[in-house]
Structure 1
């Protein structure tokens, strides 16, 4: 029994040592009893420098009031998802989001355990971005007679290429909506051109000489996203400083919130208040600031389905959905494929110094048969990849990505799932569908495994295993 208990303890230690999140545990006196390699890398310390020492000895910038571990020992209550900044005794500044839990035995608190996610680099990049945007906005406001905002949208409706009737109508509706300041909700599959439409609306509006700021709501955890949008005041949480949020920086202009359905529901309620009242309150502040910002939002999920699944508040939807634009998938506008292919060939001829004339008839037929789950963006990448391999004036079948060349995901089923032509082994089809979904989730989250796992509703470790398996398969 004693041997089994020791083996169980060693197994638990091995599990805690292998995960990416930092794990820090202290006893009831605040002495560190466990400190895994992940948190050691995060803090810039060696575990032997921490284990057996009091937490305030190792992290002198903390005290009994600011240390979440000591606070949980005192109160016995968990503290979820708290942003924190502290300096270790080597002078290294660390930004994390921590969840701290009491360790209870026999009805008594005997210690505390903290799970820390490293956001140091992400926080630094976001602060640099906000500072840069604040400087640029300040310069723009001082520059008399300036005709273009330095924080600008690039695209216009003239640059959205289409001969499809539904897309032409959407361009017309978008141009009409641009003349007002009402919110607009754009939804469509990944790669259909949602941001192109949003930028075009801004550039056709009276706000076109003012800032255009875009933020992906799935790119940041809730604790950071709130401060980024609404701003922070010094002391609102450990390490917080006085910083304007994106609403303040976009004052007079446009704020684009992409993947609005990924915004936590509690933040959606705060966003609704800004839309209704035109005021923001920085995190930790008591004062409100008036802002004049047009909000444009986008989602890659049908908003009614997002409401049904609890991802989008119905009251926020009704406030954003003053004007609604539903962008069709590329498979719903097949007449645009020829136009877009020629455009992308011209684009990459200029970029790569090539003289490709067109695609072969076989390639054009395959493009029309393919389901394009990644839509226009996937078509662009397919043409770019083919032109990297081109050895003559025409793009041929052997230049295409293997999944398009082999006819995977060629025909679209009624439920919206793309299927290959002809009967193939079930395992092969399932593997291909899985790979395509993982690729799409990683693309939508900018390579963030944690966020991609949430989209796919699988454990992060499962997604990591699938990614490693896919990489090994490609190497073989």
Structure 2
């Protein structure tokens, strides 16, 4: 399931979009932890922020942490804060869970949490209290926890890598966001909303309009990067084009995918030839690198090498 927000609205008329609207409304009225799962780029962060903005906590802070960006001790200090000992020059510092009291803390890539942090987070969810590093004093906080993962958290539990009790606490309210390729019917609506937003933000006031065939090409593309990739393509078009845009002006991988789907034998032949040239270029580039390495080694040994691998393959 994908989403895009325009003035707080979830764009799309698909069953998945409607299910997301209902879930956000229910989660915004609750205090329970929320977990989103799904491929990267499917809108988990946007969904988390939307829940916060629609809840009674909307005036409080919304703080985000990517759990994969920190080593264990650094993440503990970031989340829980710390109390410096008398021999240290560092000052005591509050953690994000304390700063986010009466607001929301969003933890992405939650599967990266170490066992000790998992234990502390479980205690927080059950008691509403935690302790800073270097201090055993319990601190109360009224923070709402929302997490996300692009992995199979259940599989992590089965492998003993994620605490089972914490898993059940976090999954009190959960939703899997489907990839964009599974809701292609919403692509045109999402694209139109993105174009309107980009036009409103554009200082030069340039407007881009996609032809019906270009919209069909976008809907047919599998979007491995999901909404993030789609938004990047629209941003590129808004910066590089104006007026009416056809499928030939889309990114090469999108336009070639569309032309290939049309089943035109001549088009298929051209695409196959292009693919062959790309593979040949990669092979020759690798040969040149190997040749350069060989020349360096041979030179150090006093052995002359006078021919290039291109002498055998010929210039492309």
TM-score bucket (shorter structure): 0.7 to 0.9
* Distance in 1, Cα, partners of 2:252 & 2:73: 41
Question: How far 1:355 moved relative to its partner?
Answer: 4.0
User: 1:26-425 residue pairs with structure 2 within 5 A?
Assistant: 158-235=8-85, 240-308=90-158, 311-352=161-202, 353-390=204-241, 392-407=242-257
Offset at residue 364 of structure 1 (A): 2.1
Supply the distance in 1 between the matched residues of 2:64 and 2:142 (Cα, whole angstroms). 16
Distance 1:209 1:227, change over 3 A: same
Report what 2:296 is aligned to.
Answer: none
For residues 77-97 of structure 1, what are the alpha-carbon distances to aligned partners after superposition, in whole Å with 9 as ceiling and x for unaligned? xxxxxxxxxxxxxxxxxxxxx
**Distance change >3 Å, CA 190–CA 342, structure 1 → 2:** same
> Alpha carbons of 1:328 and 1:346: their partners in 2 closer, same or farther (altered >3 Å)?
same
The structure with the greater share of residues assigned to helix is 2
**CA offsets per residue over residues 339-397 of structure 1, 9 Å max, x none?**
1111122222233334435213442232122110111111111011122221x411233
Separation in 1, partners of 2:214, 2:87: 57
Q: 2:91, 2:118 → 1: CA distance?
A: 24
Question: Do 1:268 and 1:313's aligned partners in 2 also have CA atoms closer than 8 Å?
Answer: yes
Displacement of 1:195: 1.5
Runs of 4+ in structure 1 over 6 Å off:
421-429
Taking the aligned partners of 2:86 and 2:33, their CA distance within structure 1 comes to: 30
5+ long unaligned stretches in structure 2: 262-270, 283-316
Structure scoring higher RCO (CA < 8 A, sep ≥ 6) equals: 2
Q: Distance between the aligned counterparts of 1:348 and 1:156, measured in 2?
A: 11
User: Taking structure 1 as reference, are residues 271 and 236 closer, same or farther at Cα in structure 2, changes over 3 Å only?
Assistant: farther
**2:230 & 2:16 partners in 1: Cα distance?**
20
* CA positional deviation for 1:317: 1.1
| Conservation of the 8 A alpha-carbon contact between 1:202 and 1:208 | yes
Give 1:107's aligned residue: none
**TM-score, length-scaled by structure 1:** 0.51
Cα pair distance change 1:244/1:237, threshold 3 Å = farther
Aligned CA distance change for structure 1 residues 185 and 342 (closer, same or farther; 3 Å): same
Unaligned runs of 5+ in 1: 1-154, 412-420, 433-476
Distance 1:267 1:237 in 2: 26
Distance 1:254 1:426, change over 3 A: farther
Cα RMSD for the two superposed structures:
3.0
CA distance in 1, matches of 2:163, 2:143: 21
CA contact (8 A) 2:11 2:17 kept: no
Partners of 1:343 and 1:222 lie apart in 2 by 40
**Scaled by the length of structure 2, what TM-score is found?**
0.75
Q: CA deviation at 1:232?
A: 0.5
Change in Cα spacing, 1:343 to 1:374, as seen in structure 2 (3 Å) is same
Please give the alpha-carbon distance, in whole angstroms, between the structure 1 residues aligned to 2:61 and 2:216. Answer: 43
Change (3 A) 1:389 1:211: closer
> 1:239, CA displacement in angstroms?
5.0
Residues in 2 aligned to 1:397 and 1:240: alpha-carbon distance in whole angstroms: 58
- Find the aligned partners of 2:162 and 2:87 in 1 and give their Cα distance: 27
